[in-house]
Amino acid sequence: MPPSLKTHSSPYTRHPLIMGTAILTITGLITRIIGFFYRIYLSRLFGEEGMGIYQLLSPVLALSFALTAAGFQTAISKFVAEQSGQKDAVLHPYRPMVMGLILTVPLSIACAAILYLGSGFIAVNLLKEPRTASMIRLLAPSVPFGAVHACINGYFYGIKKADVPAGTQLLEQCCRVGCVYLVSSSILARGLTPSINIAVLGLTIGEGCSLLAALLAFWHHAAGNTGLHASASGTRQSFLTYSQLLGMVIPLTANRIVLNLLQSVEAVSIPAGLRTYGYDNTTALSVYGVLTGMAFPMIFFPNALTGSVSVMLLPMISESYARGDHGGIRRAIFRTVKYCFLLGFSCMAIFLISGRFIGETLYQSPLAGHFIRTLSLICPFLYLDTTLSSILQGLGLASRLFLINVTSLLVRLLFILLTVPRLGIQGYLYGLLVSQLMQCALYLGCLWRCTRHHK
């Protein structure tokens, strides 16, 4: 086995799940704290309507990432981890990353070109907001940056070396916030009003800086690892890697595309439903901006911990599954459920008690406080769903995961279409709670059946 795959031989990797989770959690918390104050800064700089326009870009960014990066990162991480769990592994650990780059770079460049050239059509016909056209053009270069970065992250996650992805994530956030602050301060100093486009520019610059850091980290890692310089066994192994990698990437990418298309419909339908409810365009965008740009980041803040666990769980579960260690998988599921529920109920109590204070004091928005208190009810299920989905991917149950996620999204869309025009944004909040409850129950049922079968 190549030296870089012997992940249990050093003190750093003796407990890779604990170490990786700790590293990702610490950097994730720092990143979210920076992002938390960054959101406050943006909301005060551009207002609620500006935040609503900015949030309309989320479906475009998510769909681009799903098409060019998400499936590759997950597949590379899983493939490398499975190789480390097999005694007869002969493929080089960096080969899946190289193959992923060969496939995703042309795809991501084509996607960026479509976004840039078709920005006007996307803004007017899909997002229903012409002011997003210039923002889409600024966003386009970040797509190939993110695709290459995702492949490198997938490699490091696969060898359970989480410090590199964590470090580049923190660097990306710092560069993004620094760029927006410097540019907006310069514009304000000249007596002008900054545009929300500055926030998109910061996003692209941050992604580019993190990519450069990831490339330097991989170069340093490869230079110090003789196993990466060993010769490969030829075309047959290359073809094997291509076929196996595509066998993972294609269904993962298809799943993510379908899910993100549904999420895009969801994001566009909420302001439309609010207009039907009786709001004008400015009020509808303002309410949407408060919900997605202020309340959601607060509710997702503790997800730094569960998100870190889920990222490290996927290669760990994949490796255990390849070794046939089903007892270890069951223990991981039990501990995940126990601690995620504990975290979720604790956060629910905190947000219920302090939600109004957070909205009025930090965001200067009573509506944000109302949303935070209402959304607190989903915390136990939201945080658990993040980790359970990673376990399902590690067990190779991507098709069932896809069906569950689609069902959950369809429930939310049904609530948007039926209740938002009658109840306003409160109808969407009800749908969100119902869908999270159902999604959590289906995840647990699927895992119970799987572990019962192997037991």
Q: What DSSP element (H or E) covers 24? A: helix 16-55
CA 413 vs CA 104, 352, 410, 431: distances in Å:
31, 26, 5, 8
Alpha carbon distance 199, 47 (integer Å): 13
Whole-number pLDDT of residue 389: 81
Give residue-wise pLDDT tens across range 431-454.
999 999 999 899 888 888 877 765
- DSSP string computed for 251-298: HHHHHHHHHHHHHHHHHHHHHHHHHHHT--HHHHHHHHHHIIIIIHHH
What tokens were used for 156?
């490091």
pLDDT at position 7, please? 39
Residue 311, helix vs strand vs coil:
helix
Determine contact, residues 400/446, Cβ cutoff 8 Å: yes
Q: Which two tokens stand for residue 6?
A: 């012997």
The span from the CA of 240 to the CA of 428, in Å, is 46
**How far is Cα 213 from Cα 168, in angstroms, rounded to an integer?**
6
CA–CA dist 98, 119 (Å, integer): 31
Per-residue confidence (pLDDT) for residue 384, from 0 to 100: 83
Residues in the chain with pLDDT < 70? 1-21, 25, 82-93, 224-242, 304-316, 318-325, 453-455
Can you tell me the distance from the alpha carbon of 76 to that of 92, in angstroms, rounded to the nearest whole number?
12
Q: Taking the mean position of all CA atoms in its chain, how far away is CA 404?
A: 18
pLDDT of amino acid 241: 62
State the residue range of the domain holding 131.
3-454
Interatomic CA distance for residues 403 and 75, integer angstroms = 19
Nearest of 242, 218, 219 to residue 96 by alpha carbon: 242
Rounded Cα distance between 99 and 51, Å, is 38
Q: What's the domain count of the chain? A: 1
CA dihedral for 270, 275, 279, 285, sign (positive or negative):
positive
Note the Cα 343 to chain centre separation in Å: 20
Q: How far is it, in rounded angstroms, from Cα 199 to Cα 208? A: 15
C-beta of residue 186 within 8 angstroms of C-beta of residue 121: no
Cα separation, 150 vs 76, in Å, equals 9
